Structure 1
Amino acid sequence: MLREFVISAAVAGTALAMAPGAAADEPHGPFPGDPPGMSYEAYLSAPCYQWDRFAFGRGPGGEPLLCRWIPGQSPIGMDRPPEGVGFWVLSPKIYGVQAVGSPCPGSQAAAQSPDGLPMLCLGAAGWQPGSMHSGDWGNGNDFYPAG
């Protein structure tokens, strides 16, 4: 009986030792073209605290995100977000660090200025620091220059 117990304990111990360990998701990145200051621990709609400079991040699946303060968006159970809290939102494809006014690939493109400001591609105007906001009554989008 003791021999059977020892054998079964040894088999169970071997099985446990060979099983892959469960671990939290490892932060991933950097991806090619990621600008400096990226957060690799961002989650869509989760709170964030740095939306003025170095505001880009990547979600668990590598999706590009941007930390933004959004009027009227708040965590569940709150009427408004606490002072200094933003939220991770989806970002267009990120093209690394670019110079203000330099040519860009077209719409749906984001980049970071050398001093860390988020930028958007504005066609003939090239890369411009700023971000998109919902227009009046939630219709359309408006570009707000950084600064």
Structure 2
Amino acid sequence: MISEITCPDEKSALCTEIMSGLPEWFEEPAGITACSNLVADMPVLADMDQGSCSGFVALKYHPPAAAEIFVIATRRECHGRGIGSSLLKAAEAHARRTGCSLLTIKTLAPRGKDEPHLDNTRAFYDRNGFLKAEIFPTLWAEGHPCLFLVKPLN
């Protein structure tokens, strides 16, 4: 069941806990800390199963038309169960309710390395209707190209 978390400390703690368990995707502790601090002030939707959170998505709004998936993560043991897709659907519904017509996300672009987990991430967004809009080679850092994806909400 997807529900919105409203307590800032709970949002931050959840973000830290889940991201820290996924070092292939979130490899820098300082980045996890920064993300956890920022999500405290964002809408956070969580997949709750018997009082435990399986995954979450945090949204950053860019009025008037766009909502950004600032971060989305699912516990490793919950991968492949459709939780990520459910979180995306909940994020889309949240964005529509606020009048947004676009949902965006940034992820790592291909770097010419063997990174099957990132290939799977990009394929996940493809399957869920996101369009590759642009690559920003140095938005985050040299060697960490940003792939900007967009999904029209019609």
TM-score (norm 2): 0.24
Q: Which has the higher contact order (CA 8 A, sep 6+)?
A: 2
Q: Which protein has the larger Cα radius of gyration, Structure 1 or Structure 2?
A: 1
TM-score (norm 1): 0.25
